[in-house]
Every structure is written in structure tokens, then in C-alpha cells.
Amino acid sequence: MTAPGAWLLVVDDEEPARRLLRDYLARRGYRVHEAASAVEALRAWDAHRPDLVLLDLGLPDLDGVDVIRRIRREATTPIIVLSARGEERDKVAGLEAGADDYVSKPFSIGELEARIHAVMRRLGGADTSPDGLLRLGPIELDPARRAVTVAGNPVHFSPREYELLKVLLSNQGRLVTRERLLRAVWGLEYTDAREYLHVYVGRLRRKLSEAGLGPLIEQMIATETGIGYRVAAPKPDVPADAPTAG
């Protein structure tokens, strides 16, 4: 399910935060379960199997990262972490445990809703055509032919650049850590070679920009400082009635 009407599990030990999320998301057409602890969250997840989990890391009984690991042992249910923890290591720990995205408090709920749409759209395969093509705006990648076009015009990439772009486009709407990208494209022995990633992402952006995307490519392949990269279509307008949570 990729549209309003989906079941969301909101996990936060602060009742005002849960109420704000519940009320806003209900107005947008979502159905919401709530949990105030890790034990309640896992019980609700087992009972209801929600379409997506919004998870605060600072829970009173278990660390939220443990909740992520527990869910990931059994399912690929999308998980978006909502946390006041600002340290990069906390964000990386959540993402490496299997979270699909990380939103720091305070945040705009309109922006959160856009993240929800992006994660669920990616997992639902909405950006992949029946013949396996990966698309992001005018960018189209054909895995069968190992070919990339922008607005129908071919763009040449080296084998490594192509593999990096393929991994990024396969994770649209998801914050992908540098370590995960390095493992996927270069292998386990390169997980500390962050300079490789910096150089190759720069090459991707330059070639796609020159192919007609211009400065828009910086938004489509966005850097999350100290963590990794997020690939997404240009941001939609945030609804006027969207409050700020945190």
C-alpha cells in the first residue's frame, strides 16, 4: 500500500508527540496505531503488521535500534526513525540496523509525510517499470542494456559509475549510508574508502548536470552530511497546514 489509507505504527514515549502525529496523519487519510515503549511497539507490530513504522530511538525500556533489528529479522516493513539524537553515529547505527530513513527532531510533519510517500513508493516498486527500468525524473536506467539516458539522450558512465548510479536509483526515497554504498559497489574491503565515494558521486552529478539536469541534480542526489546520500525527485510543496513536531 503506497497511498493514504495505509496503517502506520507511531512509536514514541511522549504522548504529545504521538498525539500530534496521530491527528495530523489521520487528517491526511492514514490509519494509526500507537506505542509508548519498545515492548508495546513489538507487540503492536506482531499483532497488526503495519505498512510503515515511525520509530523514536529514545524509548524507556529498550533502545530503538533493538526494535529495528527485531523487525528486520522477520520483515522488510519500512521504518523511519524519528529522534532528537543528533550524533552522526546514532543516525548511522539506526540506518545500518535496517531503518529506511532518519528524520531529526524537530521536523516539519509535511516533510515527514513526503518521506513516508517516498519510502513506500520505492518499496512498492512505483519507480520501476514492468520491464525493469529504473526512473528518477528524466533519468532512466536500463539494467538489461546497462544503459542510462536523460530525457531520452544517452549518457556514458564508466562501469563503476554505472553501478553506483544503479544502487542509488534502486534506493529512491531512502537515506543510504556511505558504508552501504561502498560495500555494494566496491566490496567489503573498501568500507572505509570514503574518498572514493566523494569522487564518484561528484562525477555522477557532473555528467547528469551536463546532460540537461543542471543544478537540480544536487537536490536529486542530495548529500546527508556525515552519513550518506538520498536520491529523490524534487521536493513537493509542503502542505500549508503542516505543523512542526519535536
- Work out the pLDDT band at 201, boundaries 50, 70, 90: very high
pLDDT at 172: 81
One domain, residues 201 and 168: yes
One domain, residues 81 and 148: no
Give the DSSP letter of residue 95.
Answer: H
Nearest one of 38, 47, 49, 51 to 80, comparing CA atoms: 51
Residue 191 backbone phi and psi in degrees, to 5? -65, -15
pLDDT at 1: 42
DSSP-assigned letters across all residues of 10-52? EE-S-HHHHHHHHHHHHHTT-EEEEESSHHHHHHHHHHH--SE
Give the DSSP letter of residue 108.
Answer: E
One domain, residues 140 and 77: no
One domain, residues 119 and 138: no
pLDDT at 245: 66
User: Does residue 31 fall inside a structural domain?
Assistant: yes
> Which CATH number fits the domain that encloses residue 220?
1.10.10.10
One domain, residues 167 and 186: yes
Last residue of a domain, one of 125, 158, 185: 125
> What number is the average pLDDT over the span 38-45?
94
What tens digit of pLDDT does each residue of 143-199 get? 878 899 999 999 999 988 998 998 899 888 778 888 888 888 887 777 788 888 999
DSSP-assigned letters across all residues of 51-74? SEEEE-SB-SSSBHHHHHHHHHTT
One domain, residues 66 and 149: no
For residue 21, give its domain range: 7-125
User: Does residue 237 fall inside a structural domain?
Assistant: no
One domain, residues 143 and 227: yes
User: Does residue 36 fall inside a structural domain?
Assistant: yes
One domain, residues 138 and 158: yes
Residues ≥6 apart with Cβ < 8 Å to 35: 9, 10, 11, 41, 43, 44
> What number is the average pLDDT over the span 98-125?
80
pLDDT(31) > 70: yes
One domain, residues 81 and 109: yes
- Mean pLDDT of the chain, nearest integer: 84
pLDDT(123) > 80: no
> Which CATH number fits the domain that encloses residue 69?
3.40.50.2300
Which CA distances in Å does 246 have to 21, 116, 173?
10, 17, 22
What kind and span of H or E run contains 160?
helix 159-170
Total domains in the chain come to: 2
Last residue of a domain, one of 125, 152, 186: 125
One domain, residues 13 and 85: yes
> What number is the average pLDDT over the span 203-228?
92
pLDDT(233) > 50: yes
Nearest-angstrom CA–CA distance, 174 and 115? 8
Nearest-angstrom CA–CA distance, 223 and 226? 9
Which CA distances in Å does 236 have to 80, 112, 113?
19, 12, 10
> What number is the average pLDDT over the span 9-38?
93
Last residue of a domain, one of 98, 125, 152: 125
What tens digit of pLDDT does each residue of 61-76 get? 999 999 999 988 877 7
Residues ≥6 apart with Cβ < 8 Å to 144: 131, 132
Cut 0.75: pTM above it: no
